[in-house]
A and B are shown apart, each in its own frame.
Chain A
Amino acid sequence: MNLSLEEKQRITHLIEEGIMRSTDRLGKMSKTEWAVMSSSTNEVPAVRMLSWFQRSKDEHVAVHFRSGEGVPLDFLIIFSEKSAQSVTGAVTKPYAAKLDGFANLMELTIGEVSNIVAQSVIGAMADEFDKTIILSIPEVHRGPKASLLGVVLEAYDGREDVLLMSHVEMFSEDLSADCAMVIIVNADVLHELVRNQKPN
C-alpha cells in the first residue's frame, strides 16, 4: 500500500528526527561523539528490498522490536558484524571486567543499543502523534541480511502495510558503524496518525 507524498515527507522527517536524537544517545553510551554521515528513508516494495539485501552474504546482527497497543508496527535494525563489534567494544569498555562472563555480550549489547536507537525513532513519532508506543524487548538474530529481513517480512501484508527502509551511516572519531532500519506499519493506522497529528 502506498503513502501519499505528504505522508511520506512527514514520516521521513520524523524518522530522521529520531535518528538525530539517537546519535546523541549513542554518544553518551559509547563516550564518543557520533554524527550522521548520511541517512535516507524510502518506501520500498518487499521484493526489491529482499533482492537488495541478497547482495550481501556476510554475517549481520539484527534486532527486532514489535509494538502492539495503539500503533502496531515491526521495527528491525541491522548492523554489519564489524559495526556490531565496534559499537559493543565502545559501549562496554568502562564495565569490561564486570561483563567479562557474558558469552553473548555482543548480542546483549547490540540489543540494548538498538533499543535506544529504536526508542529515539519511535519516540519522535509517538510525541508527534500524541500516542504512547511501547516496544517489545529486543529479539537479536544473526545471519545474512536477506534471511534477517525475513524475520520481519513474516509480519508484512502487502495489501495493508507500508514497508519503509532507512539506511543510516553513523560515524564517530574512534569508530565507524552503519546500520539499516526497516519499519513495517499498518497503512490505515499511519494515514490516521498523519491526519490526526497534533498541531505544531
Chain B
Amino acid sequence: MIWLSRDTTKTLLAVHGWSGILLGLLLYAVICTGVAAVFATEINNWASPLTRDATISLPAGVDRAVRDLAGQVDPQYHEEVATWRGAGGRLIVFFHRHMQDPEGRLNEYGVQFELHPETHEVLARREGWYDDIAAQSRPEGVAAFLVDLHVRLHIPEPWGLLVTGILGMAMMIAALTGLFAHRHLLKEMFTLRLAREALLRRRDLHVVAGTWNLPFAFILAFTGSFFSFATTLGLPLVAKATFGGNEEALIETLYGAPREEKAEPAPLADLDAMIADAAARSGITSHFIGIERYGRADATVWVYQPLPENELVYTSHLYDGTTGEYLTERPPLGQHPSLGASLVGLMYPLHFGNFAGIASKAAWVGLGFAGAYVTLTGLLLWTQRRIDQRAWQRMARLVHYVGYGLPLALACAPHAHFLFQDSTLSSGTLQGFAFIGAAAVAAIVSLACDELRRLRRILLTATAVAVLALPFTRFAGGGPGWFEAWSSGLPGVAGVDITLLLVGASTLWLARRRVTATHAASLRPSLEARTGSA
C-alpha cells in the first residue's frame, strides 16, 4: 500500500512486534476491561437495581433534596455541591471542598449522600476523600472495579495513569507501524487462509482483524493516552510553564467562571427551574449539576446534559445561583468556543462511545472486542514464530494464561460482590480477592497443563461457567428474579442476564469447537503437541 524500503519495513515490523510483545499483555487487560466498561451504567443498574426510573437524567425534586441535605452538612463543604444519578437510578449529592490530600494532590473532601430518587430517603451517608467514598459505594462496586482496572490497572495514582498512558502509546505505535509495514493492506483485507498451516493462519487472523480495526485502534489509543497523560504529565507541565507550577490557577483558567466575589450569605434560587430551563434550551434533560459557593451571593450553578442529537462537543449552562438568571452556555474549557476546547470535548464521545445510547455503545463494544482480538492474536503469532526457543515457549504459555485467564478472573470477580453483600469489606476489596484467587488457580492450571490447546479449552470452559453462573449468583445475593424485575419496571435486569447467558453459551461453544480435519492434518505433530491452536 505504501512503498517503503526493505530495511525500513523490517525496522517497522521489529518496532511493531517488540512494542507489542513487551506491553501487549497489559494492553490486552486494559482493552478487555474497556470493553466491559462501555456498559458501566447498565452493569451498575443490573447489579444494584432500585427503581424503574434508572436513567441518568436528574429526577424532579432535586432542589428540595439539596436544600434539605445542605442543612445537615458542615458549611465548609458548601464550597461545591455536585448532583448526579448513580447505580439503579440512585440520586447522589456530594457536598465538598478542594484541598490537598495526604499525597499532596489537589483532591475533594466532603460528605456524600445516596438518596432514593423518588422518595429522597437517605440510603447512605459517607464522609471522606472522594476516592475513598467511591470505593465504599457498594451499588457502584461491580462497574467501579472494571473501570478502575481499565483506567489505572488498580495501580495508585499517578503511576497507574502513567502506565495506561504508555500502553495507549504502544497501541498507537502498533497501529502506525502496522499500517506502514503492511504493503498489501487493501488487497488482503478479506483473505483468511484458515485451512493452511498454523503460522499462516495466525498471521492472517491477526492482519485482517488489525486492518479493519486500524482507524479505531488509533482513535481509542490516542484518546485513551490523552486521558491518562493529561492530568499526570500534560497539565503539570503546562502549569509549570505558564503559572509557575500553580495547577489550581491553571484549572481555574480552564474551567472557572470568574464572577465578582460576594461572600455574604444568600439563599440558592430554584434549582428545578434552572434544570427545566436548561432542558428547554438544549432539548435534552440534564444529568449533572455543579453548584459553586452554595449559600453565598456569588453562587454559580452549572447544568450539564448528555450530548444532544448529532453534537460531538458537550457544553454546560451557567446560572446565577441566587437569582436563577441564565448567564451563558460554556464550552468544555474556557469562556468561549475554541479549537482547544473542541478537541478536548471530542475526546469524550470518541473514547467512551456513549453519545447515542445503546447503538453507539454496541458499536464501541464491537470495536473494543476487535482490539482485544488483534492484541491476543499478535502475541500468539509472535510466540508461535519463535516456538522452537525455550524462552518463547514459556512466553507462549504466559500468553495463553493471560489471554484466556484474564476473562475468567474478570468473570469471577462479581460473584464475590453478590455473595458477600453483608461483608464489612468493600465491594472492590472482595472482587479483588476473587479476581486474584481465580488468577492464581488459572496460573496453577497453566503451569500444570502440558498442552496449550487443552489449556485454552479449560480456561475458556471455566470462563463460560463463571459467566453463565452470574445471573444465578446475582439472584442468590438478593437481587430480583425476572418476574419481580419485570413487574417492577426493571427490564434491564433480565436483559443483562440474558446477554450473560448468551455470552456464556458462545464462550462454551468456542471452547469446545474442534479444528477442522484439514487444519489438524497440516500441523506438524511435534508443533501441535507444544503449541495447540487458537
Q: Are A and B associated in one complex?
A: no
Which residues on A are within 8 Å of B, measured CB to CB? none
Interface residues of B (CB under 8 A from A): none
